[in-house]
Amino acid sequence: MLPRCASPRPTLRRLLFAGLAAASSLGCLGMPSPLAPNLAGSIGMPHNGVLTGGVELPRRGPGYERFRPTSPVYWGHPRLVAAIERAARAVEEKRPGGAPLVVGDLSGPNGGKIPRHNSHRTGRDVDFLYYVTTPSGAPIRNPGFIPLGADGLAQLADGRFLRLDVERQWLFFRELLTDPEIDVQFLFMSRELEALVIEYALAKETDLALVWRAQTVMIQPVDSLPHGDHVHMRIACRPEDAVNGCLGGGPHWEWLEPLPTLEGPLDELLALVAQDDPFEPEPALERVAEVDDERPDTEPLSDARHGG
Ligand SMILES: [Zn+2]
């Protein structure tokens, strides 16, 4: 749970006072402030927001490793970080002997803009490299942002081939999609890889409603690269997040718990608060061409749904 604030149902007046005070006097909302008791956790939009009360994903754990072990951008909403650890551990336990999931960037310690990304600002976004095997099916660690083609194959610089480990990939998605602690809002990935994963799921899965939900949240971004080399997952705001300032960043799917309607221009207030970016990128985190993620990572249209 996030560190909760005093009032479960903020009034607009309190929010407005808190937000304006924070924006004008604190410089940022990266740290919890008594002046803004109702804004906490994932605050604002994925492309214009900050994070308080985040937790850091450890460098490695059962079934996963960080792609950049020493990077400072592995902070996220506590529910997101815990869900990543649970899902990776479940894959390791259910299909032992595999290579670890490789986890890309989350967010900075206080959210805000980070290198390589336009979103990833509020602790609700994370990148995953795909599970891969050799062509003969031996699991190997994904060496990093290798584009997989429509056949699920990728060729490395040394001529060797990798193949999407569709079994572990679906198992991982299944764990995330059925985790009661998070609501998956998006799995940004290429249409070709979605087709491979969904084809496998339809053949193996008895819960077809789950497959339908998976297909619904799998979207190829309309104006960034097609995500053939990684998956970008975003979790949705929950009602307890929404009353503390979490704003959507896409459709709120019909199977999710409805969000409360706050009175007044909360959007404008949060946009104002989030303008002040608490995270200063470090020189060591300059863009790296081969892992230049989300160029740009932009939202699909608000009504974007895949597969009709
Ligand atoms: Zn991403």
- CATH label of the domain that carries residue 41: 3.30.1380.10
pLDDT of residue 221: 80
- What element of type H or E holds 210? helix 208-217
Three-state SS string over 153-185 comes to EEECCCCCEEEECHHHHHHHHHHHHCCCCCCEE
Residue 297 lies in a domain: no
The parent domain of residue 147 ranges over 12-279
Residue 19 lies in a domain: yes
pLDDT of residue 161: 96
Give ion ligand 1 contacts, CB < 5 A: 127, 232, 294
Q: Which positions of the chain have pLDDT values less than 70?
A: 1-37, 223-225, 262-308
The interaxial angle of helices 266-274 and 12-21, nearest 10 deg, is: 20
Q: How far is the CA of 117 from the centre of ligand 1 (A)?
A: 7
How does DSSP assign 230-242, residue by residue?
-EEEEEPPPHHHH
Instruction: Give CA–CA dist 81/42, Å, rounded.
Output: 13
Record the tokens describing residue 117, joined without a space.
């990304």
Residue 293 lies in a domain: no
Q: pLDDT of 108-132, one tens digit each?
A: 999 999 999 999 999 999 999 999 9
Q: Are 38 and 9 in contact (CB under 8 A)?
A: no
Residue 308 lies in a domain: no
**CB-neighbour burial class of residue 148 (10 A; exposed 0-12, middle 13-18, buried 19+):** buried
Q: How far is the CA of 298 from the centre of ligand 1 (A)?
A: 10
Q: Are 64 and 85 in contact (CB under 8 A)?
A: yes
Q: Are 202 and 211 in contact (CB under 8 A)?
A: yes
Cis omega before residue 296 (within 30°)? yes
Record the tokens describing residue 239, joined without a space.
């009602």
Q: How far is the CA of 99 from the centre of ligand 1 (A)?
A: 22
Q: Are 81 and 109 in contact (CB under 8 A)?
A: no
Return the SS3 of 287.
Answer: coil
pLDDT of residue 239: 92
Residue 227 lies in a domain: yes
Q: How far is the CA of 6 from the centre of ligand 1 (A)?
A: 33
pLDDT of residue 227: 80
DSSP letter at 290 equals: G
Q: How far is the CA of 23 from the centre of ligand 1 (A)?
A: 27
Residue 183 lies in a domain: yes
pLDDT of residue 223: 62
Q: How far is the CA of 24 from the centre of ligand 1 (A)?
A: 30
Q: pTM for the complete prediction?
A: 0.78
Name the domain count of the chain: 1
Residue 304 lies in a domain: no
